[in-house]
Amino acid sequence: MDKGLTITIDGLAHFLPMEEVFAAASKSALQLDKLRNGEGEGNDFLGWLTLPSDIAEELEKIEACASRLREISDTTVVIGIGGSYLGSKAVIEALTDTFAYSGDDRAHHVIYAGHNLCSKYMGDLLRLLDNRNYTIIVISKSGTTTEPAVAFRLLKSHLESKEGASEASSRIVAITDRKRGALKRMAEKQGYETFEIPDNVGGRYSVLTPVGLLPVAVAGFDIRELVRGSADMERMTIANHDPCSNPALLYAAARNLMYNEGKHVEILVNYSPRLHHISEWWKQLYGESEGKDGKGIFPASVDNTTDLHSLGQYIQEGERILFETVLSISSDGREVEIPYSKDDEDGLNFLAGKTLSFINKSAEMGTREAHIEGGVPNITIELPRLNEYYLGQLLYFFEIACGISGYILGVNPFDQPGVEAYKQKMYRLLGKQ
C-alpha cells in the first residue's frame, strides 16, 4: 500500500548534522501547538486548519452546482486573483490531460480571468467567448479588487449581451463574503447562486473552500478525494509532535535552518509540466505568508528538465544563496518506451527499451546529486502519483508547514500588509478618491 506523501532530508547532510535538523523539528512542535491553539499572531484566520473535516457537509451543494454549470455550458470562466484562482488552477492543471482541449472532443473547459490587467488577454478572451457557450464563477470577498472587478464588469456585460440579462444571471455563480461587500450586494440583487468565503480563511489558504473546490468540480474532478487526502494529512500533522511521522514539522524546521545558514532562496523543483501551477500556488502561499518585516525566504521555482537548460547553470555554479525542494512523483501513470533504431544515427540505442519515465527519474536523481555536490542543499517531497487524493495531502501539508514556518521565523503568516502599497499608488494615478 502507498505510504502517501513522504519527505526526505538526506540531501541536507553535507550542510548540517542530521541530529540538528531533527532537534529543530522537535522544537518546532511548540509552533505547531501555538498554531493549533490559536495563540499566535493572525489567530483570527485559522479556519483553514480544520477545513478538511469541516467542509464535508458543503460538498453536495458544490457538486450540484458544478453539475448544473457543466450541463448548461461547455466553458466556465473563473474570475479571481491570487488565492482566488491559483489553488483551483494548480489542481486542475495537475490532473488534466495535457492536450485535453486541443480536439473536438475536449472536456469542459475552465479558463481564467481577473488575474491581470492586460488588454490583449481580455480582448482575446472576449473573442473566444463569442463562440463559446459559457458560464462564470466570480470570486472576491469584497467585489472591489481592481483586477477581478474589472474583468467581471467586462464579462458580465458580454454575457448579458449574448444571452440576455435573466439568462446571464442563471449562468453566474458568486463566491464572496457571507454578509457584506459589493459582490455580495450584486449577487443578491441579480439572483446569482452564491457560496461563502469563510471569514476566518484568507485567500491563499482557501483552496479547500468553495473558492477552490467549485472550479475543480466543474472541471470534472473528484473533490471528495481531494478533501479526503487533505483530511488524512490534517490527522497526520495537526496534533503530532513526532518529526519522524509529521512531515510538516520536518519541512518547516529544515527550511528555517537553511535560512539561518544564509540560504535565502528556496527553489521548488518539479520534473512534470503538470506541476507548474502547483509551484505558482506554493510561491504565493509562502511569499505572502513570510515575506514581511524585512525577513523571509524568497520562493522561486523551476520546471525540469526544461529549466536545466536555462537556470540550471546558475543553480549549479552561481551564488550559494539557495536550496532546493524537489517535488517528486514516484509514478507518472503513463509509460512511453524508447524504440530501437537500426542505424542509431542519433546514438540513442543505449536508451532503447527504457521508458521515458525511467529516463526522467534518472535526470532527477543525477541533477540532485550534481547540485548537492555543487553546494545546493536538497529536500525531497515525494507523492506516489498525481491524483486527487495525493494532491489533497500535498495542499494541506504545504499550508500547515507554512503556518509553522512563519511562526518559527517570527512573522504573522496570515496577513499581507505590503500588498496594499501598490494599490494606493495605482489608485492615485487612476484618479480614485
Q: Has 423 been annotated as catalytic?
A: yes
87 — phi, psi (to 5°)? -65, -50
- Give me the catalytic one of 288, 324, 388, 399: 288
The burial of 270, by beta-carbon neighbours within 10 Å (0-12 exposed, 13-18 middle, 19 or more buried), is given as buried
Long-range pairs for 163-168 at CB < 8 Å and ≥24 separation? none
> Grid coordinates in use for 412?
504573522
**Of 27, 354, 423, 425, which one is the catalytic site residue?**
423
The CA–CA distances, whole Å, from 174 to 17, 56, 127, 193, 399 equal 51, 20, 23, 6, 25
CA-CA-CA-CA torsion sign (260, 262, 266, 267): negative
Number of neighbouring beta carbons within 10 Å of residue 41: 15
Spatial distance between the Cα atoms of 282 and 218, rounded to a whole number of angstroms: 23
Q: How far apart are CA 53 and CA 351, in angstroms?
A: 47
With 0-12 CB in 10 A as exposed, 13-18 as middle and 19+ as buried, what is 6? Answer: middle
Residue with cell 484562482: 85
370: which residues sit within 8 A by CB, 6+ positions away? 316
Query: Residue 102, Cβ neighbours under 10 Å: how many?
Result: 9
309 annotated active-site: yes
With CA atoms as reference, report the closest residue to 171 among 85, 74, 79, 72.
Answer: 72
Task: Give the Cβ contact number of residue 64 at 10 Å.
Answer: 12
Helix, strand or coil, per DSSP, at residue 238 = coil
**Catalytic residue status for 184:** no
What's the CA dihedral at 34, 87, 206, 248 to 10 degrees? -20
Q: Which residues pair with 194 in a beta bridge?
A: 174
Q: Name the catalytic one among 309, 342, 345, 420.
A: 309
Q: How open is the CA angle 232-234-236, to the nearest 5 degrees?
A: 70
Please list the active-site residues. Answer: 288, 309, 423
